[in-house]
């Protein structure tokens, strides 16, 4: 009997210790969660989940619960603070905001080219890669295993074999289905490949739901190709065979140095390396060139850069707001500002795909679109094609384009890369591109809704962060 009581005592003691340790660990997680800036509804959801189903909620929170990586934000602040700042060049309220958000200063590019279609984007990318003399750095969300993806990998392998430094950074989820064998020739030729937060990883190395959505190609540290396109057939298939409409551009000159610094920081994080000391870009020239500005956002930035920048731009718009995005699931602040702008007489045009590749996002957007329509905004839907472009024009002053969608995931969770354009000719070029798409669209009008549909739309918004 005494031996059985001894075993029972040890079992009860072990169970008690496990409960105590588990409770302390959950309290630690809850403390960290409540210290983070997040939507109160999201915090309440996680809190309820942990209290009711702790054995399921705690592991999920370790993989999905955090949206800011403090060890990265401090490194990124040091990275951009070492770059010479030119705050007196553009002493506007918007520029002062970007300076406070630790965004690199505006710089001149020698040339900017907005790709009119997939054919030009495809040909420009291949020409840049084939012409590389010293280095090729690529950060991409999706690298397809199709003919276009294979063609790019083949060029990279050939360039690596010829002595060009090749670094390829793939998102762990976006390029999850790319076979590792597809990159064997590149590795054997001396090219380096890294995956940004693989699906299976140690939680301390980043959260699975924090994806690197940036699209960036840098050649010889002098040329940059970026925007919303991934490297796959859907995005680069020569038209008119492609049923996707996307937007990308390339630029050259001193501005590329900031893109290179950002790539180096992402590469160092993915490979657990020390953050390199960035090369100080040349001073902003007094005149000439195209004035642009790198606008990175995501878990590696201390503030919500993209959301704050958009809010400021909407508040200072006087005549026109033109927005193109594949998914429209904004936060309440940005939605309110757009509605207020429309009611105050500003022309607000929102251009969307008639049907995107994410049906849940299409369903979730309807509540917001009805509000915009009621406020006087115009919503345009592109039929028979997936509109994947991301662009914004404010009056004749600013154009913004890059990788970020107008949804909660891009605003708060993804690593994103946008570029600001200040020169009137560049802003006008984006206006003309958007107008070209809008002319092929039909005007959206709200359909009648009932209690069931509005309830389902509300449920869709509960998971909007994951759209």
User: Based on the domain organization, do 10 and 78 belong to the same domain?
Assistant: no
Domain boundary (43, 64, 85) is at 64
The mean per-residue pLDDT over the stretch 392-407 comes to 96
Question: Would you place residue 11 in the very low, low, confident or very high pLDDT band (cuts 50, 70, 90)?
Answer: low
| Structural domains in the chain (count) | 3
pLDDT surpasses 60 at 86: no
Domain boundary (265, 292, 319) is at 292
Domain annotation covers residue 54: yes
Dump pLDDT digits (tens) for 267-304: 988 888 776 655 555 444 445 689 999 999 988 887 88
The pLDDT score that the predictor gives to residue 202 is: 55
User: Based on the domain organization, do 268 and 328 belong to the same domain?
Assistant: no
The pLDDT score that the predictor gives to residue 211 is: 87
Q: What is the domain extent for residue 279?
A: 70-292
The pLDDT score that the predictor gives to residue 283 is: 47
The mean per-residue pLDDT over the stretch 420-428 comes to 96
Domain annotation covers residue 233: yes
Question: Would you place residue 324 in the very low, low, confident or very high pLDDT band (cuts 50, 70, 90)?
Answer: very high
The pLDDT score that the predictor gives to residue 359 is: 87
Dump pLDDT digits (tens) for 96-110: 899 888 888 899 999
Question: Would you place residue 84 in the very low, low, confident or very high pLDDT band (cuts 50, 70, 90)?
Answer: very low
Burial 297-315 (b: 16+ CB within 10 A, else e): bbbbbebbbbbbbbbbbbe
Q: Output the CA–CA distances (angstroms, integers) from residue 320 to 114, 334, 393, 402, 410, in the order listed.
A: 21, 16, 8, 20, 23
Residue linked to tokens 């345009």: 380
User: Based on the domain organization, do 318 and 396 belong to the same domain?
Assistant: yes
Bigger pLDDT: 230 vs 1: 230
The pLDDT score that the predictor gives to residue 288 is: 60
Bigger pLDDT: 42 vs 445: 445
User: Based on the domain organization, do 74 and 57 belong to the same domain?
Assistant: no
Domain annotation covers residue 358: yes
Dump pLDDT digits (tens) for 129-173: 999 999 999 999 999 999 999 999 999 999 999 999 999 999 988
User: Based on the domain organization, do 371 and 252 belong to the same domain?
Assistant: no
Does residue 283 sit in helix, strand or coil?
A: coil
Closest among 395, 390, 287, 387 to 341, alpha carbons compared = 395
The pLDDT score that the predictor gives to residue 289 is: 85
The pLDDT score that the predictor gives to residue 100 is: 86
User: Based on the domain organization, do 421 and 345 belong to the same domain?
Assistant: yes
Backbone phi, psi, residue 217, to 5°: -125, 125
Question: Would you place residue 72 in the very low, low, confident or very high pLDDT band (cuts 50, 70, 90)?
Answer: low
pLDDT surpasses 70 at 60: no
User: Based on the domain organization, do 41 and 10 belong to the same domain?
Assistant: yes
The pLDDT score that the predictor gives to residue 180 is: 79
Domain annotation covers residue 362: yes
The pLDDT score that the predictor gives to residue 325 is: 98
Bigger pLDDT: 58 vs 325: 325
Domain annotation covers residue 298: no
Q: Which residues pair with 418 in a beta bridge?
A: 295, 402
User: Based on the domain organization, do 229 and 178 belong to the same domain?
Assistant: yes
> The domain that contains 314 carries what CATH number?
3.30.870.10
Q: Which residues pair with 250 in a beta bridge?
A: 113, 225
Q: What is the pTM of this model?
A: 0.84
Domain annotation covers residue 299: no
Domain boundary (230, 261, 292) is at 292
Dump pLDDT digits (tens) for 211-240: 899 999 999 999 999 999 999 999 998 766
Find out whether the peptide bond into 240 is cis, omega within 30 degrees of 0.
yes
Distance from first CA to last CA of the chain, Å, rounded? 59
Q: Which two tokens stand for residue 380?
A: 């345009």
The pLDDT score that the predictor gives to residue 285 is: 46
Does residue 22 sit in helix, strand or coil?
A: helix
User: Based on the domain organization, do 221 and 112 belong to the same domain?
Assistant: yes
DSSP 31-57: HHHHHS---HHHHHHHHHHHHH-HHHH
Cα separation, 394 vs 414, in Å, equals 24
């Amino acid at each position: 009997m005494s031996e059985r009581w001894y075993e029972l005592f040890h079992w009860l003691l072990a169970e008690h210790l496990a409960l105590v340790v588990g409770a302390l660990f959950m309290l630690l997680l809850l403390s960290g969660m409540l210290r983070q800036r997040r939507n109160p509804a999201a915090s309440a959801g996680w809190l309820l989940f942990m209290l009711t189903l702790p054995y399921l909620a705690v592991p999920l929170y370790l993989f999905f619960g955090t949206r800011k990586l403090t060890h990265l934000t401090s490194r990124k602040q040091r990275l951009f603070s070492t770059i010479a700042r030119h705050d007196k060049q553009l002493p506007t309220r918007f520029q002062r905001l970007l300076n406070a958000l630790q965004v690199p200063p505006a710089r001149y590019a020698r040339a900017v080219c907005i790709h009119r279609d997939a054919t030009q984007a495809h040909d420009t990318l291949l020409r840049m890669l084939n012409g590389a003399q010293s280095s090729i750095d690529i950060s991409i969300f999706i690298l397809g295993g199709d003919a276009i993806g294979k063609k790019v990998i083949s060029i990279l392998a050939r360039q690596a074999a010829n002595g060009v430094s090749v670094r390829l950074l793939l998102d762990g989820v976006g390029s999850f289905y790319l076979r590792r064998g597809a990159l064997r020739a590149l590795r054997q030729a001396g090219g380096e490949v890294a995956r940004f937060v693989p699906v299976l990883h140690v939680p301390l190395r980043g959260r699975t739901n924090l994806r690197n959505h940036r699209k960036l190609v840098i050649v010889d540290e002098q040329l940059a190709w970026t925007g919303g396109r991934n490297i796959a057939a859907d995005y680069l298939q020569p038209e008119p065979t492609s049923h996707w409409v996307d937007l990308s551009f390339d630029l050259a000159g001193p501005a590329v140095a900031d893109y290179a610094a950002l790539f180096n920081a992402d590469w160092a994080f993915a490979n657990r390396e020390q953050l390199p000391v960035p090369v100080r870009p040349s001073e902003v020239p007094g005149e000439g060139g195209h004035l642009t500005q790198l606008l990175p956002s995501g878990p590696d930035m201390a503030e919500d850069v993209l959301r704050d920048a958009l809010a400021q731009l909407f508040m200072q718009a006087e005549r026109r707001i033109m927005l193109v995005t594949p998914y429209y699931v904004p936060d309440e602040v940005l939605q309110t500002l757009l509605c207020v702008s429309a009611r105050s007489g500003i022309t607000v045009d929102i251009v969307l795909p008639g049907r995107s590749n994410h049906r849940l996002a299409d369903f979730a957007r309807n509540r917001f679109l009805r509000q915009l329509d009621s406020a006087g905004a115009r919503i345009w839907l592109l039929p028979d094609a997936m509109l994947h472009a991301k662009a914004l024009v404010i009056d004749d002053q600013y154009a913004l384009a890059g990788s970020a969608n107008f949804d909660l995931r891009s605003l708060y969770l993804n690593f994103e890369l946008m570029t600001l354009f200040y020169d009137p000719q560049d802003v006008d070029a984006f206006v003309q591109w958007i107008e070209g798409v809008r002319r092929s669209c039909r005007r959206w009008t709200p359909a009648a809704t009932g209690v069931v549909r509005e309830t389902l739309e509300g449920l869709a918004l509960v998971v909007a962060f994951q759209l």
